[in-house]
Amino acid sequence: MKIQRALFKELLVTLQQSQKVLILYGARQVGKTTLVRDMLETMHKKILVINADEIKYVDVLSSRDLHTLKSLVSGYEVLFIDEAQRIPNIGINLKIMVDHLPGLKIVATGSSSFDLANKVHEPLTGRALTYTLYPISFLELSNRYNIFELQEQLEERLIYGSYPEIFSLGNNEAKKKYLEELQRAYLYKDVLEIATIKHSYKIRDLVKLLAFQIGSQVSLTELGKQLSMSKDAISHYIDLLEKAFVIFRLGGFSRNLRKEVSKMDKIYFYDLGIRNSVIDNLKPLKDRDDVGKLFENFLVLERIKCLNYKNKDASKYFWRTYTGAELDYLEEREGKLYGFEFTFNTSRKKEPKTWLEAYKNSSYTLIHKNNFLDFVL
């Protein structure tokens, strides 16, 4: 099943009108290659497609030699480099082509943001535009399904996630096998290949611990004790996992450090299917005790996708006081605070009195399974 990606039109216009390198980040198997190929098919130009896994291209694209680079792209109008992070010195070589081959349009994808960014950021300062592609969003699904159908999809997305391949698999057993293979073959690949990690199994153990703690504040010290690792090592591993699009963090909001908790982050997963596969729990919602956590992770993630795809700036946090008052999520936009509380069921919740007293011009909204579409679309 083909679902048009939210970035399609913006990327196409950018590639047609800009002379900058277009860089698309995202997790493995999230659909970066398919998106770029679909976009290039509409351009009717002569296109050179290079997979950086092919050795014959690596030497040329890492040569730093203009004559050699020209010989590779001669006669082509567009250069597409897939998995560009695998090419040594890719940044400086892209800079050479941008500076000396102004008629050539360049697109590069990378599944590992920290590796590709480290190789292109400095050489391509002012010469590149970067985008991030996520697993399928409800915003993208809304172009294909009506409100009723989107509501019906909620449980499926909470359990099996939103990787593009999931939507074409016909039964739950096939989905389970796909997710198992995805997390075994790809989840840690970038981190283990690129980072210097003494004990690779520690990464897997850490991810499993984090999977059980979604929606909760995470103590690096406690994680270190459980894994017999230092707090600094845990922090480093979490940073790598975040940059490899496995997890992401949400920080605490505070303007009154004595009352508000802000030192520990919450950690969420970029895909709930991966999260559930990691802990080997793909049971239906009626048989689970973590529905609230899944719903919270889902809402925060879908909100981030929506804001990014619509190019809306917002600082994102959670809020909690030492006395127990809390909001699952808040945004600061144009100087105003918007607070949100999440509950899967439609049971009423009162606005936190402490929140309203501390931030009088802020708003408060309760998001539940019957009104979540307004929030994620």
Q: What is the pLDDT of residues 230-254, one digit of tens each?
A: 999 899 889 889 988 999 999 998 8
The pTM (predicted TM-score) of the whole model is 0.93
Distances 289 to 133, 212, 367, 369 between C-alpha atoms, Å: 31, 11, 19, 16
Helix axes 172-185, 147-160, angle to 10 degrees: 50
Residue 299 corresponds to which tokens in the numbers above? 């809402």
DSSP H helices in the chain: 8-17, 32-41, 55-61, 66-73, 90-100, 113-120, 138-141, 147-160, 172-185, 189-194, 200-212, 220-227, 231-243, 272-278, 291-309, 353-358, 372-376
User: Does the pLDDT value for residue 317 go beyond 90?
Assistant: yes
- Answer yes or no: are the C-beta atoms of 215 and 266 closer than 8 Å: yes
Per-residue model confidence as pLDDT tens digits over 66-114: 999 999 999 999 999 998 988 888 999 999 999 999 999 999 998 777 6
3-state SS, residue 344: coil
**C-beta atoms surrounding 18 within 10 Å:** 12
Residue 371 has pLDDT above 70, yes or no: yes
In terms of C-beta distances under 8 Å and separation of at least 24 residues, what long-range contacts does 305-311 make, across chains too?
Answer: 305/6, 305/134, 305/137, 305/138, 305/139, 305/376, 306/137, 306/138, 306/139, 306/376, 306/377, 308/132, 308/134, 309/6, 309/7, 309/137, 309/139, 310/139
Over residues 286-314, mean pLDDT: 97
Model confidence band, residue 189 (pLDDT cutoffs 50, 70, 90): confident
Amino acid at 243: K
Q: Taking a C-beta distance cutoff of 8 angstroms, is the pair 165, 32 a contact? A: no
**Selection from 332, 326, 273 nearest residue 298 by Cα:** 273
- pLDDT confidence of residue 323: 77
Query: Using one digit for the tens of pLDDT, what is the confidence trace for 142-160?
Result: 999 999 999 999 999 999 9
SS3 55: helix
pLDDT on residue 67: 96
Label the pairing between strands 266-269 and 247-252. antiparallel
Give the model confidence (pLDDT) of 101-157 as tens digits. Answer: 999 999 999 877 767 777 787 888 889 999 999 999 999 999 999 999 999 999 999
* Rounded-to-integer distance, Cα 295 and Cα 155, Å: 9
Q: Which long-range contacts (CB under 8 A, 24 or more apart) does 192-196 make?
A: 194/85, 194/112, 194/114, 194/115, 195/240
Assign 170 a pLDDT band (cuts: 50, 70, 90).
Answer: confident
Burial of 50 (0-12, 13-18, 19+ CB in 10 A): buried
**Torsions phi, psi of 202, nearest 5?**
-65, -35
- What three-state secondary structure class fits 173? helix
Cα distance between residue 304 and residue 376, in whole Å: 8
pLDDT for position 54:
87
First to last CA, the chain: 21
| Domains with residue ranges and CATH for the chain | 8-133 (3.40.50.300), 138-309 (1.10.10.10)
Where does residue 122 rank: exposed (0-12), middle (13-18), buried (19+ CB within 10 A)?
exposed
Residue 346 has pLDDT above 80, yes or no: no
